[in-house]
A = this chain, B = another copy of it.
Amino acid sequence: MNLEKLFIDTLKDIYFAERQILKALPKMIKAARAPKLREGFSVHLEETEGQVERLQKVFEALGRRAQGKTCEAIQGIIEECEELLEEVSQPGPVRDAGLIACGQAVEHYEMARYGVLIAWAEVLGRKDIVSLLQANLDQEKKADALLTGLAESVNSAAAMAA
Task: Tell me the number of copies of this protein.
Answer: 2
On chain A, which size bracket covers the interface?
35 or more
> Which residues of chain B have C-beta atoms less than 8 A from A3's C-beta?
94, 97, 155, 158-159, 161
Given A77-B76, A90-B1, A161-B3, verify A120-B108 contact (CB < 8 Å). no
**Given B6, B73, B75, B122, which contacts A88 in the complex, CB threshold below 8 Å?**
B6
**Complex interface bits, A74-97 against B, C-beta within 8 A gives 1, otherwise 0:** 111101100000011110001001
Q: Name the residue on B nearest A101 (C-beta).
A: B116
**Complex interface bits, A5-22 against B, C-beta within 8 A gives 1, otherwise 0:** 010011001000000000
Could you write out 30 A-B pairs with CB less than 8 Å apart? A1-B89, A1-B90, A2-B94, A3-B94, A3-B155, A6-B158, A71-B76, A71-B80, A72-B77, A72-B80, A73-B73, A73-B76, A73-B80, A73-B105, A76-B76, A104-B112, A104-B116, A105-B109, A107-B112, A108-B108, A108-B109, A108-B111, A108-B112, A116-B151, A119-B148, A119-B152, A119-B155, A120-B158, A124-B159, A125-B159
Q: Which A positions have Cβ atoms within 8 angstroms of B?
A: 1-3, 6, 9-10, 13, 71-77, 79-80, 87-90, 94, 97-98, 100-101, 104-105, 107-109, 111-113, 115-116, 119-120, 122-125, 148, 151-152, 155-156, 158-159, 161-162
